[in-house]
Structure formats: structure tokens, C-alpha cells
Amino acid sequence: MTEINTTSVLEEKRSLLNHLRAESEEGGGEDRIAKQHAQGKYSARERIDRLVDPGTFMEFDRFVTHKCTQFEMDKKKKFLGDGVVTGIAEINGQKVALFSQDFTCWGGALGHAHAMKICKVMDFALSTRIPIIGINDSGGARIQEGVESLAGYADIFYRNVNCSGVIPQISLIMGPCAGGAVYSPAITDFIIMVDKTSYMFITGPDVIKTVTHEEITKEELGGAGTHNEKSGVANFKCANEDEAFERVREILHFIPPSNFTENKDRLVSDPVNRVNKKLKDIVPANPKKPYDIKEIILDIIDDSQFLEVHKDFAQNIVCGFSSIGGIKIGIVANQPQILAGVLDINSSNKAARFIRFCDAFDIPILTLVDVPGFLPGVNQEHHGIIKHGSKLLFAYAEATVPMVTLITRKAYGGAYDVMASKHLMADINLAYPTAEIAVMGAEGAVNIVFRNELEGLKGKDFDIKKAELISNYEKEFAGPYKAAEVGYIDQVIFPEETRERLYEYFKVLKTKKVDRPKRKHGNIQL
């Protein structure tokens, strides 16, 4: 009789666990999940299943519920897990921590228990030195919990800051992200948005209409297009959620799991001594003629595999991850095809942020330079080009990772200094024979330096004399050899040997160590 009762009790306990597990997996119920699907969105658990390696997810706190009693919340239905799924898993065999907000439970609204679950998995990620991935789909703070919801956000923000530069943080915006909720993704390293189904803003269209009388849609105000092309808040725009998950896998492929872990080389079949025949004539002889810097990038990297970051924002500079000879690198390159590759406020911010990420996680940096200077104009000056341009300078000067710089064509004025010059402690500075390193372009220089000589001349005499002065200036100052004479350029190379030379330098620089003066932190212009 005793044995029968014991067996019965065990079966009851097992049955209860199975029941609770099933209940927790229901989220807000089939009808609400169906609404998600109708909007082109997966449920919180489906997102995890589609993102991580099959069978690797281990959940935390699936039975947590809120303790709120205000507004009769204790008498209403409680959802197991409190509107967020948390745990650890593997992506490409790499351990990660993650959370996925469940919009089917109170619109994914964040309360105290919800926040504490996120904080717990973030603490776990930091202590075990693995990346943290946040899948955001939430209506914001749970109003019924008042200040405890606000405290929950602040607790998450604090952990975002503590994790910054220690473990990679990736945010996927899979629905609404409004009010204070936007600041957690804003602190993270990469933000991925889904076109037409995700949006971010501090105040929504209704509030804006009431306060400023401006009428705007959610998509126009804070959709994926807006934040990828105009504001620069987001790094990737994806057509659907599955594409967003693929971006996460690509990012993790190129970066280490923490700043404590060496970034392992990729296995590639592309030979390092491959000659870049395509590049022989890629840089036009006419310094005013544009060309696509991505053609150079794709020809020198392994198998043309380039993960561009911030692709749609500040397109006059290109940033992204790749590898050369299996050595994973970050690439920063002026884009002559857009605004002649000039530096402005947006491109300076974009590149500085990317450089600081690479430096934090010991990812070597390749800089391709073709820059005519900083963008002139009242708008740029009034919006702080001096301050924002200095961020790029600061980022390069602060970086201690291996840095190789290649000047393909123009490197004029202060922009030459800023773009990882030898003076900012770049390890290796190379140049093509087409490189022009000078304070400014030859014509502008001649107009200033020889103004008096040209003043009295007219017509044909003026044209002949000016052409002669420009030619002399170019021979004397504009090529790469004057800089090479004084050691600012380590080697002038032919374009077709680019890949092999870059690999040789990055390979040698693997053992680079830099000691900096002890300090709490620098004071970058923010």
C-alpha cells in the first residue's frame, strides 16, 4: 500500500511539472500567437528556436510570476514567465545568453519580475563571459507596477553599461520599443530591426501630435528605414525576422565571445598570395573621378565575404567585418562614390563607434583612405563637425589593436591625419602609387600659394602658367613619396599585391602589445 501511494505521489509531481511546462509555453494563448503570425511576427519561443542551434536552449525562470497587487493585478490571470523567456543556448556552437520578450503576455510590458529575469541572465552572461542577445517586443513599462517598472529598466541599463566592452551585446527589435525601453538597445553594440514590423521612439506619434502638432506615422517616426538611413540608431535593416536571425549568426561569426577571449582565425580556402589583378587599374587617373571602394574590399578579403555594418547610413564611409588569410578584421573605408568620400558629422560618428567596438574586442582594423577632407558648410559647422570629427580622431588614437592603413588616392588636410595616419600610431601605413598626400588638392593650393604670380595674367597665359604650377605642385607634394621620405608611409605598393601584403602585416601584428598610462578613462567628446 505504501509503495502504491509513493508511486502515485511521484506521478502527481511529474504530472504537475509537465502541466506547468506546457502552460509556460502557451504564452498568452493560441489566439494572441495567431495575431503575431498574422503580422509577420513569430512568438517569443519561436524566435529563440529559429535563432539558436537546435536542442541547445536551456531556460531560466520559466515559472516566475509578478507579485503586483495594485489595480487588482493579483486577481487577474498570471502568465508563467511574466512575459519574457530567458536562458542560454548556442549559436554556431558558441555559447550565448538571451532573452525574448513575449508580446502575447500584457503586450510584453516590463514589470519588476520581468526585469529581474532579464537582469539575472545578463549577470550570468557577464560572469561567464558570453554574448548577450536581447529580442525586444514590448509595449513599454507595465503601468500597474509604477515606479517598480521604471526601476526595472534602470537596473537593465546599469547592466548594459557594465557589459559594454566586456561581452558583445546584440539587440533585435521585433516589434514596438518605446519610451525608456529604447535606451537598453541604444547602449548595446548592434541593433537589428525588421522592416515594417519594428519601431523605436521616445514618444509616439500621438504624443508628438499633441505637443508639437506634427503628424507622422510610426514607420516614418521610428521604423527600420528611418533608424537605418536617417538617425543611424540601428545597424541592420532586415526584410523579415528570419533574415534578422541570420544577421546575428553572421555577427557572431566575426567577433569573439568576450574581451577575455582571443578571436580565432577562420578556416578559409582563399590563398593569401592571390594576386589582385582586378585592382591594377581600379583607381582612376583622374582624381575627381569616383569609383567604388567596395570593389577593392571585396577583392582583397577572403572569398568576398564582407559583413557591412550601418550599410544604409552615412554611405560616404564603409564599415564592416571580414578576414584576410583567415585573420578576422574590421574595415573602415572612405567611399569616393558618395560625396567623394568626404568626412562629415554622420560618417565620423559611424566610423568612431565601429572603431571603438573593434578595439574593445581586439579586432584588428584595416583603414582604406581616399578622403578629400571634411565637408564644408554652415550646417556642418553649426551642428558640431568640430566635435563630431574629433570622435573619429579620438577613436583611432585610443585604439591599441593592430592597425594597417592603405591610402588608395586622396588624403588631404586634417582628414589625412584623422584617418589612421602614422601620427595616430597606426602600425603600418601603405600607399598606392596613385596616392596624393597633401594639405589640399593641387589646384586649391596653387590658387593660394601662387596667388600673386597669377594675379596679373589673363587668358591663355594664365591657363598655361597655372597648369605648369599645378603640375609642379603635384610632382613635389601630391604623391606618396614625400611622405615616404620622412617615414610617414612605410611602403608604396602596387594594387595587385594588396592582399598578400596586408596578410603579412596582420600576421606579424598578432603579437602587438601596447601599454598606456594608467587612468580611469579618457574624455571623448560626446
CATH of the domain at 193: 3.90.226.10
Q: Residue 334: inside a domain, yes or no? A: yes
Following CA atoms 373, 377, 379, 384 in sequence, which dihedral angle do they give, to the nearest 10 degrees?
40
Please identify every stretch of the chain with a pLDDT value under 50, giving residue numbers as ranges: 1
456 shares a domain with 483: no
284 and 393 housed in the same domain: yes
Is residue 459 flagged as an active site residue?
Answer: no
What distance lies between CA 359 and its chain's CA centroid? Answer: 13
Q: Choose the catalytic residue: 146, 151, 165, 180.
A: 180
DSSP code for 412: E
What number of CA atoms fall less than 13 Å from residue 340's CA on the CB side?
16
Residue 148 structural domain: 20-254
Indicate if 414 belongs to the active site. yes
- Domain-ending residue, one of 254, 288, 322: 254
Q: Is 330 a catalytic residue?
A: no
Strand partners for 307: 321
The three cell numbers locating residue 173: 527589435
| Co-location of 74 and 189 in the same domain | yes
Q: What is the pLDDT of residue 376?
A: 94
Q: What is the tens place of the pLDDT at every residue in 306-350?
A: 999 999 999 999 999 999 999 999 999 999 999 999 999 999 999
Tell me if 102 sits within 8 A of 44, measured CB to CB. Answer: yes
Looking at residue 161, what is its pLDDT? 97
The confidence score (pLDDT) of residue 1 equals 47
Q: How many domains does the chain have?
A: 3
CA angle 235, 138, 223 (to 5 degrees): 40
What 3-state class would DSSP assign to 190?
Answer: strand
Active-site position among 415, 420, 426, 435:
415
**Active-site position among 146, 204, 326, 414:** 414
Q: Residues with Cβ < 8 Å from 353, sequence gap 6 or more?
A: 395
> According to the model, what pLDDT value does residue 164 have?
97
User: pTM of the entire structure?
Assistant: 0.93
Q: Which residue's C-alpha cell is 525576422?
A: 241
In this structure, the dihedral spanned by the alpha carbons of residues 143, 144, 149 and 151, taken in order and rounded to 10 degrees, is: 110
164-173 pLDDT tens trace: 999 999 999 9
179 given a catalytic annotation: yes
Considering the domain architecture, whether residues 483 and 469 belong to the same structural domain is answered as: no
The length of the chain in residues reads 526
Which member of 107, 175, 179, 441 is catalytic?
179
Residues 137 and 75 in one domain: yes
